[in-house]
Amino acid sequence: MRIQQEFRTDPELWQALKKGDNQAVALLMKKYYRDLLNYGRKISKDEALAEDCIQELFVELWQKRDKLSDVQAVKPYLFKSLRRRLVKAHPSHPLTDIDSLPEYETEVSFSYEEFLIHEQSTLERKTKLIQALNSLTPRQREVIYLKFYEDLSYEQIAEVMSLTVPTLYDLLSKAVKRLKAFFSGVTILLLICMKLIQ
Amino acid sequence: MPSRDISAEELVLNESFQHWVRRTSETDIAYWDKWLGEHPEHSATVTEAAQLVELLYSAAKPEVTDERIDRAIARVNARISQESKPATPAPRKSLPLRSTWSWQKLAAVWIGLLLVSIAAYWGVNQYFYAYVTYATAADETRQLQLPDGSTLVLNARSSVRFAREWPAGASREVWIDGEGFFDVKHFTNPSRKFIVHANQVAVEVLGTTFNVWQRKNQTRVVLQTGKVQISARALTDTVLMSPGELVEIAGDTPQAVRRPVDTRLYTAWKEGQLFFDGTPMQDVAALIEMQYGYSVRFGDDAIRQEKFTYKPVDNNLEELLQVLQETFRVRVDQRSKTLRIDNN
């Protein structure tokens, strides 16, 4: 029985939750806690607060299970709720604030030798990507994050961030333009450096 | 998408294009494969866009441990089971859920951050000041001079990276991704080794001309003159090559495959002209794999030894396939980029 439950789809889990199956809460948490925490700590610099908000979110889902509507896309629903909670917890720092989305940190998880031999180009590209991402506005960064890290569709992102799809698209195309400019900028810079030295 | 001018930005933003890059939707894969075939003029833009999409998707997320999730679930479950009567929202912050951070954990985090910054600084430093990288586009080959005066011809879709300066007495090292032909300057000083790294394979050289090809986890080395020694993490022994040989190392296979070949065949790309002169079909297959990125399967192993002679007018795959079709039955699967060659 347990094993079968693992294979339930999101809408099925949602229905189970509404019917009072408390196993559904744990399963949804298993599935989305990681993503929610990663998103939460990008929005709020206070990681413990992000964790509080997520747990509170699930407790409340359970408490209000009788009144929940039929949700098909559970992940964006959870993201949106978390976002609202974090904004509420920080009324003085709405998400439109310039420094509300913290900078991306570098991830280094391989050994020195590996780094030298075959991960070299990946790390270089990642370092460059992080620099590029940090040159975006927080809202642009949030859109990129939800699209490429969380794999949400444009409609879902618009829902999570309470934007219209055209506004979102505009935001994204500006972000991508900037990223592209950053990358070609770096290449040009490199070419100039090489020219100077040769 | 209509066949007007398209920008890389537009492609990056297109969800169907994103699916194609990540191979997540059959319909989108079929659509874009077909589109690309019909619009080869956009291939540079598509490559640029695809690289950006891949890069954006590749960034690693910070890890959240399973224990941490289990702890959170336990906390929420405890809250849930306390509520006998639902629908009355508990007052916020009635129970502190905040996890307590011991000073050891905090110290570990700070040390971690410090190491990360040092690594990032070092990486950026290395990237901008110590090394140079050259890359070629899909239809470009490039002749490069290495710091010691050795030369390298870089084939299309390849990149190479080496230190800007090679101090006298130190070994000379080059990292290659793709394919290149090396003409290495000979030094009598034995400490001036010349090493080419391709994926996890290292080719050590003693004044020589040779070709290195590496895509995914396959590496092929063809030696024209001189002497090279090959070592790889996967190999149990190092391989000492003689001129006129091809050595192939595939992934984790502990044994390298070696066989004599016509080296001119494997270095013809430098002159931009392929040719086949009584060439065994297995070499033709290897060449198609190396040059056009298709993998080749044979319906019958006997075909491998059959000889093939042809000098293409244009260096394109269609022409070659047409000629092959006169002798064999050739089937092309565009999606998996596979050719299947059977007897007629």
pLDDT tens, position by position, A171-196: 888 888 888 777 665 554 444 444 44
In terms of Cβ atoms closer than 10 Å to its own Cβ (0-12, 13-18, 19+), residue A126 is buried
Q: How far apart are CA A139 and CA A162, in angstroms?
A: 12
Q: What is residue B184's predicted lDDT score, i.e. its pLDDT?
A: 85
DSSP code at position B60: P
Q: How far apart are CA A145 and CA B167, in angstroms?
A: 44
Q: Do A38 and B55 touch (CB under 8 A)?
A: no
B61 interaction partners in chain A (CB closer than 8 Å): 34, 38, 149
Cα separations in angstroms, B217 against A130, B152, B267: 27, 22, 21
Q: Residue B225 region, left (φ>0) first, then alpha (ψ -120 to 50), else beta?
A: beta
Asked if the C-beta of A110 comes within 8 angstroms of chain B's C-beta atoms, the answer is no
pTM of the model: 0.43
Q: Do B72 and A104 touch (CB under 8 A)?
A: no
Q: What is residue A77's predicted lDDT score, i.e. its pLDDT?
A: 92
Q: Do A106 and B116 touch (CB under 8 A)?
A: yes
pLDDT over 90 at A58, yes or no = yes
Q: How far apart are CA B189 and CA B205, in angstroms?
A: 13
Q: Do A38 and B89 touch (CB under 8 A)?
A: no
Q: How far apart are CA B115 and CA A54, in angstroms?
A: 30
Q: Do A109 and B92 touch (CB under 8 A)?
A: no
Q: Is B174 helix (H, G, I), strand (E, B) or coil?
A: strand
Q: What does residue B250 show for φ and ψ, rounded to 5 degrees?
A: -115, 115
Q: How far apart are CA A14 and CA B193, in angstroms?
A: 64
Average pLDDT, rounded, for chain A: 73
> CB–CB of A24/A13 below 8 Å?
yes
Residue type, A64: K
Residue type, B146: L
Give chain A's end-to-end CA distance (angstroms, integer).
69
Residue type, A146: L
Question: Can you tell me the ipTM of this complex?
Answer: 0.70
Report the chain B residue with the minimal C-alpha distance to residue A85: B92
| Interface with A, mutate which of B7, B13, B24, B215 (most A CBs under 10 A) | B13
Q: What is the average pLDDT across A158-183?
A: 84
Reported as type and span, the H/E element at residue B259 is: strand B257-260
Q: What does residue A49 show for φ and ψ, rounded to 5 degrees?
A: -65, -40
Q: Do B72 and A54 touch (CB under 8 A)?
A: yes
Contacts (Cβ under 8 Å, ≥6 apart) of B115 = A108
Q: How far apart are CA A141 and CA A132, in angstroms?
A: 10
Q: How far apart are CA B321 and CA B49, in angstroms?
A: 29
Q: Kindly give the residue spans of alpha helices, DSSP state H, lying in chain B.
A: 8-13, 15-22, 26-38, 43-58, 66-82, 103-125, 263-267, 281-292, 317-327
| Beta-carbon contacts below 8 Å between A and B | 148
DSSP code at position B94: S
Report the chain A residue with the minimal C-alpha distance to residue B81: A22
Residue type, B160: V
Q: How far apart are CA A184 and CA B344, in angstroms?
A: 50
Query: Which two three-digit tokens encode residue B293?
Result: 């990125």
Q: How far apart are CA B119 and CA B289, in angstroms?
A: 37
Nearest to A63 among B15, B87, B127 (CB): B87
pLDDT over 50 at A150, yes or no = yes
A147 interaction partners in chain B (CB closer than 8 Å): 56
Residue type, A125: R
Give chain B's end-to-end CA distance (angstroms, integer).
39
Q: Do B116 and A197 touch (CB under 8 A)?
A: no
- Give the long-range contacts of residues B326-332, CB within 8 A, separation 24 or more: B328/B303, B329/B299, B332/B294
| Residue B42, min C-alpha distance to chain A (Å) | 17
Query: Which two three-digit tokens encode residue A103?
Result: 């900078």
Nearest partner of A148 among A162, A165, A133, judged by Cα: A133
Residue-by-residue pLDDT tens, chain B, 344 positions: 444 678 888 888 888 898 888 777 888 888 988 888 888 888 888 887 887 787 777 655 566 788 888 888 888 888 887 764 444 444 444 444 445 557 777 788 888 888 887 777 666 655 545 677 788 877 778 888 898 888 899 888 788 888 888 877 778 889 888 888 988 887 777 777 888 888 778 888 866 788 888 876 788 889 888 888 888 877 888 888 888 899 988 877 888 888 888 888 888 777 777 778 788 898 888 888 877 778 899 988 889 888 888 887 777 788 888 888 888 888 888 887 888 999 87
Q: How far apart are CA B224 and CA B151, in angstroms?
A: 15
Nearest partner of B217 among B264, B261, B192, B251, judged by Cα: B251
Q: Do B119 and A108 touch (CB under 8 A)?
A: yes
DSSP code at position A6: H
Q: What is residue A102's predicted lDDT score, i.e. its pLDDT?
A: 41
